[in-house]
Amino acid sequence: MKILVDADSCPALTRKAIIRASERTGITAIFAANRPIPDITGETVVMELCPNKEGAADDRIVALACSGDLAITRDLPLASRLVKAEITTLDDRGRLYTPENIHEYLSIRNFMLGLAENGLGVPRNAHYGQRELKTFADSFDRVLSRLIREKKQ
């Protein structure tokens, strides 16, 4: 079992929580990005530096993903690929992507992109603080515990 992280857009607070969980559980956390990300260190932590081309980190995460892994990404097209491959996938705010909801999230994303391309972009809340981290951590811990239990069975 591995924890796969789309590190390019993962907030520092979330990265730290994932690293702590990795060290606590002994589960390897692999952070993939096309640039070095600070403070990705630890005995159970790996930084995968991917080629500097569009989608390289996403492709690497999909290539590494196996049944029973947990992926963390806010990138909805990547989340869709992972869900399709039956990989448990969360975003950095604790939202669990499933076969039942990923298409709706993608549809909303595409609609919002269309608005932005036509100059009608809606302001987004980019704030990520303790409240968002707690929501992520609660969901992350719950899902990670479930996957660990399933692995033992």
Give residue-wise pLDDT tens across range 9-68: 899 999 999 999 999 999 999 999 999 999 999 999 999 999 999 999 999 999 999 999
Q: Does domain 2-152 have CATH number 3.40.50?
A: yes
Model pTM score: 0.88
Distance between CA atoms of 130 and 97, rounded to whole angstroms?
22
Q: What is the per-residue burial (b if ≥16 Cβ within 10 Å, else e) of 53-86?
A: eeebbbbbbbebbeeebbbbbbbbebbbbbbeee
Q: Where are the domains of the chain?
A: 2-152
Structure tokens at 89: 């996938």
